[in-house]
Amino acid sequence: MLLRLSRQGQALHGRGFFAIAQRWMLGDTAAGTFAPRLPIEYNSATPTRNGARGFLDSQEVAVLIDLIGVPLDLGAGRRGVDMGPSAMRYAGLCRQLAALGHTVNDLGNVEVPIAEVGAVGDPQLRYLEPIQVALVQLARLVDVSLQNKHVPVVLGGDHSIALGSISGAASRRDIGVIWIDAHGDFNTPQTSPSGNIHGMPLAALCGYGDERLISLQGQRLPDSMVDPRKVALVAVRELDPGERRLLAEAGVHVFATEYIDRHGMYETMCRAIEVAGAAHDGIYASFDLDVFDPAVAPGVGTPVPGGLTYREGHLAVEMIAECGELIGMDLVEVNPILDERNITGTLAVEIALSALGKRVWDRSELACTPGS
């Protein structure tokens, strides 16, 4: 199936960090000095521009990365993901990103209260008050990072943090979202069986649910709503009934595991990037480690059988990186209490590296022709 991966008349590579990093890092701010890239048409068998079958040419670029830890587990039903940022740092995230040539600013952690000193509050919006405080801080940090032309990489924490990170990225920007997760995270207090906010952030980002959560109690950054038609939900395999109805109503593009089974990860990501790439200001990726099969990522709080393989997960983020549109990402739901020798924390680091340019071999050598 032939896919067109850019809008008519617009360059596919115009907004993400791979496309414009040279302007930021090398001091070349004259946009006119960069020749526009042509729209790309390709399928899995046809080499494209520069002989490559992917989105990116062989040029390596370095970027300024802001690491932001959010040790939040109040949105989840199990404790432990508050230690996720430490697990990823311990696995060498900063050092390995720097080894790729990037400049890494570790901004430390957003201050988050622990459950023992906070009130649950509304049982259908558990711990809303302390979660809201943390997410407002996070949104401001991500917004400033992007204003500074850096790439924010947010380390969770449970997936409720994405309401902060992505609303910060979306403030006064038209962004697409690729949400890679075993779950839809599109519940509302009315549809949620648990009241845990980590099952609601994507819905709230798109304007669905309780107004207190959607608006972060009146402190959400301005013009930060996400258009659900520019959201791709990838590799989901467990949805609540009300969540399923809301996703259809909102127009979110859902690429469930059945789609991957039939079409493969490559075409799935082509479609997902096409959906999110309809936005004018780039793509934000939110990666929940429970998207992997539990045999690959044991240290997650809500494991679901039948998940992605190790290579499927890497291919997903490699393709996002190579499309040139990625502006920031989350890595969430790493739970060291449930992990084995930090396997999942290390996997999260490896996913970040692939999303930020690491490859086994020169990308220009990815091309192949039938019979070669």
Residue-by-residue DSSP string for 108-140: EE-----GGGS---STTSTTHHHHHHHHHHHHH
User: pLDDT at position 77, please?
Assistant: 87
User: pLDDT at position 363, please?
Assistant: 63
Q: How many residues does the chain have?
A: 372
User: pLDDT at position 57, please?
Assistant: 35
Asked whether the CA dihedral 23, 321, 106, 205 is positive or negative, the reply is positive
Rounded Cα distance between 100 and 353, Å, is 8
3-23+61-358 classified as CATH 3.40.50.1100: no
How many Cα atoms sit within 13 Å of 47 on the Cβ side? Answer: 15
**Residue 15 or 310, more confident:** 310
Q: Is the pLDDT of residue 365 over 70?
A: no
Non-local CB neighbours of 258 within 8 Å, separated by 6+ positions: none
Asked whether the CA dihedral 249, 228, 178, 160 is positive or negative, the reply is negative
Work out the pLDDT band at 360, boundaries 50, 70, 90.
confident
Average pLDDT over residues 75-95: 96
User: pLDDT at position 116, please?
Assistant: 83
Q: Can you read off the two tokens belonging to residue 331?
A: 């890595």
* Per-position b or e across 89-121, b if 16+ CB within 10 A of its CB: bebebbebbeebebebebeebbebeeeeebeee
Paired sense of beta strands 41-42 and 3-4, if any: antiparallel
Domain chopping of the chain, boundaries: 3-23+61-358
Average pLDDT over residues 113-117: 85
3-state secondary structure of 297: coil
Work out the pLDDT band at 19, boundaries 50, 70, 90.
low
Q: Is the pLDDT of residue 197 over 90?
A: yes
pLDDT (tens digit per residue) in 263-286: 999 999 999 999 999 999 999 999
Nearest Cα to Cα of residue 17 among 106, 126, 101: 101
Report the range of poorest mean pLDDT among 2-6, 98-102, 169-173.
2-6
Q: What is the pTM of this model?
A: 0.85
Paired sense of beta strands 3-4 and 64-70, if any: unpaired
Work out the pLDDT band at 256, boundaries 50, 70, 90.
very high
Non-local CB neighbours of 187 within 8 Å, separated by 6+ positions: 199, 200, 203, 209, 240, 242, 243, 246
Rounded Cα distance between 113 and 300, Å, is 21
Q: Are 19 and 357 in contact (CB under 8 A)?
A: no
Give the residue ranges of DSSP H helices in the chain.
Answer: 17-25, 84-90, 93-99, 128-147, 162-170, 201-205, 211-214, 241-250, 257-276, 310-322, 343-355
Place of tokens 């819905």: 203
Work out the pLDDT band at 16, boundaries 50, 70, 90.
low
Nearest Cα to Cα of residue 158 among 237, 254, 79, 65: 79
User: pLDDT at position 58, please?
Assistant: 35
Work out the pLDDT band at 301, boundaries 50, 70, 90.
very high
Q: Which residues are annotated as catalytic?
A: 159, 181, 183, 185, 198, 288, 290, 333
3-state secondary structure of 47: coil
Average pLDDT over residues 69-83: 95
Q: Are 219 and 132 in contact (CB under 8 A)?
A: yes
Mean residue pLDDT across the chain = 86
Q: Is the pLDDT of residue 368 over 60?
A: no
Non-local CB neighbours of 87 within 8 Å, separated by 6+ positions: 299, 334, 336, 339, 342, 344, 345, 348
Rounded Cα distance between 195 and 365, Å, is 49
Q: Is the pLDDT of residue 17 over 60?
A: no
pLDDT (tens digit per residue) in 335-347: 999 999 999 999 9
